[in-house]
């Protein structure tokens, strides 16, 4: 076939045999293959400088290696001057991304490497000439380890030119250099090319670089790569990087690559692959291990982040979860509320809860200081689930995160988020994480802060928050030998009201042996008492006769943990490209165990909002504020519910137990705060409680006025 | 600020403290058998006077250098070949991996059987002991040659014996030197063990003989210290190799 082109690529296809991927078996051999290049056709006339640009990992390097003869194509052929390429040749020199300069030779020995068959008399002037051309005169006797990366790359170019080839193949040769050196090397390359009139095929992932260098830019698509388009760059050299022509060509290429990108994201749902075990601090991804961008970045691998990860994974939305700790942690919130079941069911986690034998929580029992009665609010009759769960949070959080991982989350564990990055328009564009000693920038379209009370984003943006006036001290530990009361309610969560202004204690069974006991009260009680933590805890146990009895033979199993539970609700839960989840958005008193329930509900709403935003391709503040609208009313209901509890603590549970609206009130207390009827139920409860205050002869009235310290 | 002499002064201080501790420990324990540092010193003088010290050192060094050189001559080419030719590697590697973990000491009876009580037995043991570190490091070195260097060489039409001479050998040299250093350490360990059994000269023989003939623990300890010091010198000499311009790139120093 007569052709005037120097390089002709015809119908080139390339598959990689990859036994690890069993999904896409081709043929009957049983050996699976992955298509890398599909039907590549390309012609390069002599003396032209052509750039091949495409997303990282698309296969453009493979294409160049095939053209150079280092790798064999699966089908199709490459012709140079009309002859088929079967192996590399000295007439066509390859310049490598990772620098192929030989470290055991001096600079001049390296440059002369292609001329070894020539006598020194011929070789020496050529070597001197090219060393001078790349500006390395004086470094002839130096070794590569003694010069900089940019100089090494120039040695490699000199070595290539000294061999007097027709063609230079360059595979991201400036990729490892710093920005300024890169700019200078580009300018030098263009000068050398103009002087030497070689044909150059230059591979890069940098669109700017391709437009600065090339006569023509070949734009490749995502893997399996095809040629998306070829764009002529008819601009005079040296090129003006601010000229409208330059910018419009650049943007044209970006557009071609960008369109392709969005197509990729929608197809990723079908290609979801379970990933191997997480290594600490390693970015794990089955297909593209080094891709540092995702649709969504979730900061924090607690329940909120993990549940969101589960939802996104199921929807096939590519996301990172960045978790600062990979150690078990103790945490307030060991009792899951009834409404949490619904979310756990949606993400298919209830089988795990059963398999792991978490204790079934059949209800909540309440005791008071002024009598020895126990009010039992059972879950039976509430709806679809017979029970909720008591959990050891370290284990529960860990399992939930693993579940997210199995659904396709890409994980960074042991990584600390330093800051959330924003662009000039104020849109969140990703995060900078510190992992080991290194800093890595991760990019995403949406950043979700689920960092718990660290509230990383809230702090960075100095978001305003509304503080709620609830007790702010939680003191808790694990015990053995706690008497759990009558056997029918032994696995319930027990709330013991204390004879103190505002204060109550929880008793939560963790397993057959261990019971978690904690006190929540105003900080000032502790400060005024002047006692140490042990004495204070012991004293509070005596403030309820039932509790005192139960703790009589208890042995403490681990150190006390004191949490300052500041109560707050952020003024905005969503902004331009970001969302706040769980404790990063709000924290309220743990009396109804709603913290974790609200956190995972917030994850569900976030998943909905993200999904809609991505589908509509609108991630503006306005679009994401949908999330705020879904979440906030429920959080306000919860706030009012806790306020009612503290106002009417002595009679709170008894009014519910006696009410004809008992079921809906119980559901409210169990976290159904996002239900449309929640506000209504809250009003009924409030009225019922108020009624007791205004009717002095009602039996509960006396209890309301029971003396406290 | 770090002084130029710091790497000399600090070890000397540690050595001084050690000798002091040694002296005190022997005096306090009232041991009649274990020698004081001074006794060891006089033991050394005594050996020198008798003229055996120099003879023993030369004997040990001769055995080590013979066995070790033999191992270099066999091990480096063998390792390069096995590293380069995948089929040969597949064929021989299991055998190497089986022989490698067998301690050279375990070969002593076999060596005596084959070579009798002569210099050949310890030389054979040293050869065996140093062969494996050298061979395996050469194999790994070839297998670790960066693809980019091989491709660059191929691009310039370098192949066959030129490829070995110009690329494979220089590219592997730093890692081979590391293997050689390891091997020399092992060889020196083994010569002493071998001399304890099979021969009637050398530093190993000195130690076992001093104990058997009259519980001369001053000479036992003197022998031990000599072995340590000579080991230090040998290691120092091989480390000089790492500073050669052709291989310095392989050592991040």
- Residue closest to A493 by CA, chosen among A598, A648, A387: A387
- Spatial CB neighbours of B112, under 8 Å, sequence gap ≥ 6: B121, B197, B198
Which of the 8 DSSP states describes residue B23? H
Nearest to A555 by CA among A504, A610, A482, A625: A482
Virtual CA dihedral for B234, B239, B245, B246, nearest 10 degrees? 80
Give buried/exposed letters for A403-437 (b at 16+ CB in 10 A, else e): bbbebbbbbbbbbbbeebbbeeeebbbbbebebee
* Domain spans in chain A, listed from the N-terminal domain onward: 45-256, 297-468+566-704, 473-564
A72 contacts chain B (CB < 8 A): no
Helix, strand, or coil (residue B11):
helix
Q: Are A193 and A49 in contact (CB under 8 A)?
A: yes
Half-sphere exposure (Cβ direction) of A287: Cα atoms closer than 13 Å: 19
Residues 165 through 194 of chain B touching chain A, CB cutoff 8 Å: 166-167, 170-171, 173
| Cα B89 versus chain centre, distance | 26
**Radius of gyration for chain B, computed over Cα atoms and rounded to the nearest angstrom:** 22
Q: What is A258-316 written as a DSSP string?
A: HHHHHHHHHHTTTT-----PPPTT----SS-TT--EEEEEEE--SHHHHHHHHHHHHHT
Per-residue confidence at A501, pLDDT binned at 50, 70, 90?
Answer: confident
pTM of the predicted protein model: 0.52
Q: Is B249 on the interface with A (CB under 8 A)?
A: yes
CB contact under 8 A, B170 and A102: yes
CA distances B211 to A223, B22, B42, B117, B222, Å, are: 74, 20, 17, 20, 12
Q: Are A639 and A468 in contact (CB under 8 A)?
A: yes
CATH class of A45-256: alpha beta
Q: Are B100 and B186 in contact (CB under 8 A)?
A: no
Maximum average pLDDT range among A21-30, A51-60, A267-276, A635-644 = A635-644
A143:B154 CB<8 A: no
Helix, coil or strand: residue A612? helix
Please list every residue in chain A whose beta carbon sits closer than 8 Å to the beta carbon of residue B156.
Answer: 90, 93, 113-114, 116, 163
Q: What is the pLDDT of residues B99-135, one digit of tens each?
A: 988 988 889 889 889 988 788 888 999 999 999 999 9
Q: Count of CB contacts below 8 A, A vs B?
A: 56
What average pLDDT does range A520-548 have in this prediction?
A: 89
In this complex, do B246 and A104 lie within 8 Å of one another by their Cβ atoms?
A: yes
Provide the shortest C-alpha distance from residue B173 to chain A (in Å): 9
What per-residue confidence (pLDDT) applies to A196?
A: 85
Among all residues of chain B, which has the CA nearest to that of A88?
B155
Helix (H, G, I), strand (E, B) or coil at A391: coil
β-strand pairing of A33-45 with A410-413: unpaired
Q: What angle do CA B78, A100, A122 make, to 5 degrees?
A: 95
Summarize pLDDT for A321-336 with one digit per residue, the tens: 988 764 445 577 789 9
Cα distance between residue A485 and residue A489, in whole Å: 7
> For residues A34 and A225, what is the distance between their CA atoms, to the nearest angstrom?
11
Nearest CB to A96 within list B152, B173, B247: B152
Chain A interface includes B100 (CB < 8 A) = no
Contact B151 A99 (CB under 8 A): no
Confidence of residue B197 (pLDDT cuts 50, 70, 90): confident
What pLDDT band is residue B2 in, cutting at 50, 70 and 90? low
Q: What is the mean pLDDT of residues B134-163?
A: 92
Question: Which of A87, A98, A105 is nearest residue B148 as measured by Cβ atoms?
Answer: A98
Q: Is A163 on the interface with B (CB under 8 A)?
A: yes
Q: Is pLDDT at A13 greater than 50 in this prediction?
A: yes
In chain B, the residue whose alpha carbon lies closest to the alpha carbon of A112 is: B156
Backbone angles phi, psi at B229, to 5 degrees: -65, -45
Task: Indicate the angle between helix axes B217-241 and B52-84, nearest 10 degrees.
Answer: 40
- Is there a contact between A102 and B152 if contact means CB atoms under 8 Å apart? yes
A701: CB partners within 8 A, 6+ apart: A692, A693, A695
A-chain CB neighbours of B157 within 8 Å are 89-90
Q: Domain A297-468+566-704 adopts which CATH fold? A: FAD/NAD(P)-binding domain (3.50.50)
Mean per-residue pLDDT for A472-476?
88
DSSP character at residue B237 = H
pLDDT the model gives residue A436:
61
Contact B155 A90 (CB under 8 A): yes
Q: A44 and A6 in contact (C-beta within 8 Å)?
A: yes
Query: For A54-107, where are the E strands, in sequence order?
Result: 75-80, 83-84, 92-95
**For residue A224, cis peptide bond before it (omega within 30 degrees of 0):** yes
Q: What is the mean pLDDT of chain A?
A: 84
pLDDT surpasses 90 at A268: no
B156 to A113: CB separation less than 8 angstroms, yes or no: yes
Q: What is the 3-state secondary structure (H, E, C) of A15-26?
A: EEECCCCCCCEC
Indicate the residue of A68, A87, A90 with minimum beta-carbon distance to B156: A90
pLDDT for A281: 29
Nearest of A59, A378, A7 to residue A203 by alpha carbon? A59
Q: How many residues does chain A have?
A: 709
Q: Tell me the nearest-neighbour CA distance from A121 into chain B, angstroms.
A: 20
CB contact under 8 A, A143 and B250: no
A88, A105, A116 member nearest B155 (Cβ): A88
Residue B182 exposed, middle or buried by CB count within 10 Å (0-12, 13-18, 19+): middle
Angle of CA points A7, A222, A577, to nearest 5°: 140
End-to-end CA distance of chain A: 102
B152 near A CB under 8 A:
yes
> Which pLDDT does position A327 carry in this prediction?
45
* pLDDT for the residue numbered A30: 47
One fold for A45-256 and A297-468+566-704: no
Give the pLDDT score at A150. 83
Residue B8, φ and ψ in degrees, nearest 5: -100, -45
Mutate to test the interface with A, among B155, B174, B241, B246 (most CBs of A within 10 A): B155
Please indicate whether, in this complex, the C-beta atoms of B157 and A89 are within 8 angstroms of each other: yes
CB contact under 8 A, A143 and B166: no
Q: Which residues pair with A420 in a beta bridge?
A: A431
Tell me the C-alpha distance between A331 and A347, whole Å.
Answer: 23
Q: In the structure encoding, which two tokens stand for residue A274, read together?
A: 């379970």
Q: With an 8 Å Cβ cutoff, are B155 and A99 in contact?
A: no
Enumerate the residues of chain B whose CB falls inside 8 A of the CB of residue A145. Answer: 248-249
Q: What is the pLDDT of residues A535-566, one digit of tens each?
A: 999 999 999 999 999 999 999 988 888 877 67
Which class does domain A473-564 fall in? alpha beta
Tell me what ipTM this predicted complex has.
Answer: 0.83
Average pLDDT value over all residues in chain B: 89
């Amino acid at each position: 076939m007569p052709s005037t082109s120097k390089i002709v690529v015809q119908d080139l296809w390339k598959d990689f045999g990859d036994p690890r991927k069993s999904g896409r078996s081709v043929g009957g051999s049983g050996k699976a293959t992955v298509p890398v290049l599909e039907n590549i056709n390309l012609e390069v006339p002599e003396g032209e400088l052509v750039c091949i640009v495409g997303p990282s990992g698309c296969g453009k390097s493979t294409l160049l290696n095939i053209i150079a003869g280092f790798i064999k194509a699966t089908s199709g052929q490459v012709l140079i001057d009309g002859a088929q390429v079967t192996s590399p040749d000295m007439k066509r020199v390859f310049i490598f991304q990772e620098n192929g300069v030989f470290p055991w030779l001096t600079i001049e020995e390296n440059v002369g490497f292609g001329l070894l068959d020539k006598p020194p008399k011929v070789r020496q002037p050529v070597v001197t000439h090219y060393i001078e051309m790349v500006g390395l005169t004086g470094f002839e006797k130096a070794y590569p380890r003694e010069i900089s990366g940019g100089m090494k790359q120039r040695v490699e170019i000199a070595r290539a030119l000294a061999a007097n080839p027709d063609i230079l193949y360059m595979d991201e040769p400036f990729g490892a250099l710093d920005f300024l050196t890169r700019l200078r090397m580009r300018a030098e390359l263009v000068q050398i090319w103009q002087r030497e009139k070689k044909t150059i095929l230059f591979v890069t992932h940098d669109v700017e670089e391709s437009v600065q260098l090339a006569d023509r830019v070949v734009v490749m698509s995502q893997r399996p790569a095809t040629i998306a388009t070829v764009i002529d760059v008819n601009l005079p050299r040296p090129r003006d990087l601010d000229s409208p022509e330059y910018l419009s060509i650049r943007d044209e290429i970006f557009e071609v690559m960008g369109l392709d990108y969005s197509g990729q994201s929608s197809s990723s749902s079908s290609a979801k692959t379970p990933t191997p075990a997480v290594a600490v601090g390693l970015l794990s991804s089955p297909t593209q291990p080094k891709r540092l961008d995702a649709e969504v970045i979730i900061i924090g691998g607690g329940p909120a982040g993990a549940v969101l990860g589960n939802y996104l994974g199921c929807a096939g939305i590519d996301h990172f979860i960045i978790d600062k700790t990979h150690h078990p942690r103790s945490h307030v919130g060991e009792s899951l509320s009834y409404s949490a079941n619904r979310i756990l069911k949606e993400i298919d986690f209830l089988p795990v809860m059963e398999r792991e034998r978490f204790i079934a929580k059949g209800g909540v029992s309440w005791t008071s200081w002024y009598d020895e009665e126990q009010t039992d609010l059972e879950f039976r009759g509430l709806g679809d689930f017979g029970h909720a769960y008591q959990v050891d949070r370290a284990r529960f959080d860990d399992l939930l995160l693993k579940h997210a991982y199995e659904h396709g989350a890409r994980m960074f564990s042991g990584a600390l988020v330093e800051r959330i990055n924003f662009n000039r328009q104020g849109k969140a564009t990703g995060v900078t994480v510190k992992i080991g000693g290194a800093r890595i920038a991760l990019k995403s379209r949406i950043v979700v802060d689920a960092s718990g009370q660290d509230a990383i984003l809230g702090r960075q943006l100095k978001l305003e928050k509304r503080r709620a006036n609830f007790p702010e001290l939680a003191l808790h530990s694990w015990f053995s030998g706690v008497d759990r009361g009558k056997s029918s309610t032994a696995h319930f969560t027990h709330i013991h009201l204390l004879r103190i202004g505002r204060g109550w204690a929880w008793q939560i069974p963790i397993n057959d042996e261990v019971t978690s006991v904690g006190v929540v009260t105003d900080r000032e009680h502790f400060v005024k008492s002047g006692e140490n933590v042990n004495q204070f805890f012991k004293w509070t146990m005596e403030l309820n006769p039932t509790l005192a009895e139960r703790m009589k033979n208890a042995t403490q199993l681990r150190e006390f943990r004191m949490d300052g539970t500041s109560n707050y609700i952020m003024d905005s839960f969503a902004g331009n490209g970001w969302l706040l989840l769980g404790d990063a958005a709000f924290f309220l008193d743990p009396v109804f165990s709603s913290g974790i329930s609200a956190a995972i509900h917030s994850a569900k709403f976030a998943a909905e909002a993200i999904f809609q935003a991505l589908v509509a391709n609108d991630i503006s503040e306005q679009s994401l504020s949908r999330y705020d609208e879904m979440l906030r009313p429920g959080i306000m209901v919860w706030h009012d519910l806790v306020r009612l509890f503290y106002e009417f603590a002595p009679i709170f549970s008894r009014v519910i137990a006696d009410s004809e609206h008992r079921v809906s009130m119980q559901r409210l207390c169990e976290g159904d705060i996002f239900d449309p009827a929640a506000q209504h139920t809250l009003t009924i409860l409030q009225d019922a409680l108020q009624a007791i205050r205004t009717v002095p002869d009602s039996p509960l009235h006396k209890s309301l006025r029971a003396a406290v310290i | 600020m770090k002084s130029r002499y710091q790497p000399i002064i600090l070890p000397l201080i540690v050595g001084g403290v050690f000798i002091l501790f040694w002296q005190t420990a022997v005096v306090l324990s009232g041991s009649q058998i274990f020698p004081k540092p001074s006794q060891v010193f006089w033991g050394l003088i005594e050996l020198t006077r008798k003229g055996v010290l120099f003879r023993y050192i030369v004997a040990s060094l001769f055995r080590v250098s013979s066995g070790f050189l033999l191992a270099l001559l066999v091990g480096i080419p063998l390792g390069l070949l096995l590293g380069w030719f995948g089929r040969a590697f597949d064929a021989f590697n299991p055998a190497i991996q089986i022989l490698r973990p067998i301690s050279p000491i375990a070969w002593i009876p076999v060596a005596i059987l084959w070579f009798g009580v002569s210099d050949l037995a310890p030389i054979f043991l040293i050869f065996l002991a140093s062969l494996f570190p050298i061979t395996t490091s050469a194999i790994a070195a070839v297998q670790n040659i960066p693809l980019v260097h091989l491709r660059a060489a191929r691009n310039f039409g370098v192949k066959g014996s030129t490829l070995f001479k110009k690329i494979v050998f220089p590219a592997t040299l730093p890692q081979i030197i590391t293997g050689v250093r390891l091997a020399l350490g092992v060889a020196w360990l083994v010569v002493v063990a071998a001399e304890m059994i099979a021969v009637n000269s050398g530093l190993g023989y000195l130690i076992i003989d001093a104990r058997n003939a009259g519980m001369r623990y001053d000479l036992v300890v003197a022998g031990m210290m000599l072995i340590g010091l000579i080991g230090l010198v040998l290691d120092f000499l091989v480390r000089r190799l790492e500073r050669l311009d052709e291989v310095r790139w392989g050592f991040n120093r």
